[in-house]
């Protein structure tokens, strides 16, 4: 049975892009689970094999800069990424129009799509989208690590770990790499004044 599965990676971090992936494949031919079930050392190999098994897949990203400064903008961008990724998959496999399953509770108003909690661990093609997207996110963070090794992006992938937060306090936020609004909210709750590391008007993700 061929369906489209869609998932997101990078919703929670304070640095790096949000990645939304849609993948098309036969759920009986793909053996893949939620990316969180695999050690990070295996994700890229799993994603590569999974892409070969899929009919097609689309990964779209929203940069830290684009994500903006308020939760509503996050939601709007998230919805737009799901819409575009899913409809690009549908365009590629037309005239077939398979059912679509999105991990989570929300179908984002997309026709013939349903949201299903924990779908990334219940339906193989949604797990495939999860793994492909996670590989995309981790590769981006590795490029950021090569440019700014003092932040340890290779270890925490942009999440607000103790190591990452300590580096924020010591070195400051990197424009275009860090999600400024989330970093500022974290610092404000702790009475910490954060500074920028570099020119605030420059997008350092352009150097990756």
Q: Which residue has the tokens 């909210």?
A: 185
Query: Residues 75-98: what's their mean pLDDT?
Result: 93
The per-residue pLDDT for 69 is 61
Q: Give the tokens for residue 65.
A: 């800069």
Domains and CATH numbers, the chain: 2-143 (3.30.420.10), 149-207 (no CATH)
Average pLDDT, the chain: 95
Query: Residues 109-128: what's their mean pLDDT?
Result: 96
Q: Give the tokens for residue 97.
A: 């129009």
The per-residue pLDDT for 96 is 83
Q: Which residues contact 62 (CB under 8 A, 6 or more apart)?
A: 17, 18, 77, 78, 81
The per-residue b/e assignment along 9-24, b for 16 or more CB within 10 angstroms, e otherwise, is bbeebbbbbbbbbbbb
Q: Which residues contact 74 (CB under 8 A, 6 or more apart)?
A: 18, 67, 68
pLDDT in tens, 144-199: 999 999 999 999 999 999 999 999 999 999 999 999 999 999 999 999 999 999 99
Q: What percent of the chain has pLDDT over 90?
A: 89
**pTM of the shown model:** 0.94
């Amino acid at each position: 049975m061929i369906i489209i599965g869609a998932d997101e990676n990078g919703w929670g971090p304070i640095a790096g892009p949000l990645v939304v992936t849609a993948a098309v494949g036969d759920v009986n031919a793909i053996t893949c689970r939620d990316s969180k079930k695999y050690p990070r050392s295996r994700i890229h190999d799993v994603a590569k094999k999974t892409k070969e098994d899929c009919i097609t897949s689309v990964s779209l990203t929203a940069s830290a800069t684009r994500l903006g400064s308020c939760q509503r903008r996050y939601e709007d961008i998230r919805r737009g990424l799901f819409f575009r990724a899913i409809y690009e998959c549908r365009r590629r496999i037309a005239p077939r129009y398979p059912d679509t399953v999105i991990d989570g509770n929300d179908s984002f108003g997309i026709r013939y799509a349903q949201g299903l909690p924990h779908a990334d661990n219940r339906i193989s093609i949604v797990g495939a989208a999860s793994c492909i997207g996670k590989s995309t996110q981790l590769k981006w963070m590795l490029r950021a690590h090569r440019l700014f090794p003092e932040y340890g992006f290779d270890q925490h992938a942009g999440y607000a770990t103790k190591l990452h937060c300590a580096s924020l306090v010591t070195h400051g936020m990197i424009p275009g790499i860090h999600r400024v609004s989330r970093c500022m909210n974290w610092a404000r709750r702790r009475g910490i004044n954060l500074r920028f590391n570099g020119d605030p008007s420059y997008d350092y993700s352009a150097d990756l």
